[in-house]
Amino acid sequence: MLRLSKLTDYAIVVLARLGHAQCGGRVAAVPELALASGLAEPTVAKVLKILAQSGLVEGLRGARGGYKLARKLEDIPLSEVIQAFEGPIALTACVDGGHGGCESEGCCPVRGRWDPVNRAIRDALAGVTVAQLANTPPARQCAAPALTF
Amino acid sequence: MLRLSKLTDYAIVVLARLGHAQCGGRVAAVPELALASGLAEPTVAKVLKILAQSGLVEGLRGARGGYKLARKLEDIPLSEVIQAFEGPIALTACVDGGHGGCESEGCCPVRGRWDPVNRAIRDALAGVTVAQLANTPPARQCAAPALTF
DNA sequence: TCAAATAGGACTTTTGGCGTCCGGTTTCCA
DNA sequence: TGGAAACCGGACGCCAAAAGTCCTATTTGA
């Protein structure tokens, strides 16, 4: 299934909700986002912590704090979100510049040939933005927030 | 890391070795392939069983039996190998025509938007053959087998 | 008839994802 | 100035899926 981790999946949803909430420049706190996305609070908190560490969202501490997007959703490529949660985008660990991780490194006939495949996948994921995944055309959403939520 | 399972990884290596061994029309048995690839025999056996079930290799039973490629390596796209071991190529389970698997199906803002992403990745993987991954130009390999092994 | 080899399934072990929780720090407001 | 609200960072335990192994049945050639 080539599956993304659940946290990555949640991250897309949370980012989308954050985009919703942020139209007026407000910041959104974890409980609010958890409620809106239907996820548990500790899970949403974990997702946002990772997103903050990778610079995709910005955390504001203290009372009346919360999170806000560091960039607009249409400026966040999917590849960056995936990299934040899954590390470098590559199908196998044995390439990617790594050495010593594979016990049959010397005799492996496939060694070093995955790079074009990995690059193709990276490009595919870099060409999609979170805004495209989330069904949130920014103009309409901000014009009529009461309707979309 | 978007990681493939180890079995998928092994499958590429085993297919490459099978391509090596098969130049003279011979079949290769599990112990031989395990030795050549540096993997444990039970593991290689498991890999080949799955490959046989998906029609990528053909198993010949009985004494002097073994496995042979159902197609040439250059006719086996990477996507088919991955599908044999990982199932349909898609980054998330919630799309792909599936219903009922996601508890927040009704309110998920990302629903149904992964299809272009999945398609792009499928195309990327379908455009690479096992022969390209394995460093085995068929002509030279069969002309001088003593050198390549 | 025996040995060699695949076919198919079941079983155990192990790994890593996942969810949760806690203590610490920062900031706002009364 | 004190308390509440919120983020920050890390650690812990559970559990499902992967991974590896093994066993038995079946087939085939010498």
CATH number of the domain enclosing B140: 1.10.10.10
Whether A146 shows a pLDDT value over 50: the answer reads: no
Q: What is the tally of structural domains in chain A?
A: 1
- Beta strand pairing call for B57-60 and B66-69: antiparallel
Most B CBs within 10 Å: which of A2, A4, A85, as the mutation test of the B interface? A2
Residue for token pair 């390209």: B132
Burial class (CB in 10 A: 0-12, 13-18, 19+), B139: exposed
pLDDT of residue B145: 33
Residues B93, A1: C-beta atoms closer than 8 Å: yes
Residues A109, B38: C-beta atoms closer than 8 Å: no
Residue with smallest Cα–C1' gap to C20: A42
> Which residues in chain A have Cβ-Cβ distances shorter than 8 Å to B89?
1-2
Whether B131 shows a pLDDT value over 70: the answer reads: yes
What is the mean pLDDT of the segment spanning B74-99? 82
Report the candidate in B145, B129, B149 with the shortest Cα–Cα distance to residue B56.
B129
H runs (alpha helix) in B60-126: 78-86, 115-126
**pLDDT tens sequence across B5-15:** 999 999 999 99
Amino acid residing at B118: N
The reply to whether B92 falls in a domain is: no
The reply to whether A1 falls in a domain is: no
Nucleotide nearest to A40 (CA to C1'): C19
Instruction: Give percent of chain A above pLDDT 70.
Output: 75
The reply to whether B97 falls in a domain is: no
The reply to whether B1 falls in a domain is: no
pLDDT higher at B142 or B92: B92
**Domain region containing B136:** 6-87+129-148
**pLDDT tens sequence across A62-117:** 999 999 999 999 999 999 999 999 999 999 766 444 455 555 666 666 767 888 89
Instruction: Give percent of chain B above pLDDT 90.
Output: 65
Q: What is the DSSP letter of A134?
A: T
Q: What is the DSSP letter of B41?
A: H
Nucleotide nearest to B32 (CA to C1'): C5
Token pair in block for residue A107: 């005799």
The reply to whether A65 falls in a domain is: yes
Q: Which helix (H) or strand (E) holds A57?
A: strand A57-60
For this complex, say whether ipTM is above 0.90. Answer: no
Q: What is the DSSP letter of A138?
A: H
The reply to whether B50 falls in a domain is: yes
The reply to whether B44 falls in a domain is: yes
CA to C1' distance (Å), from A101 to C17:
21
The reply to whether B105 falls in a domain is: no
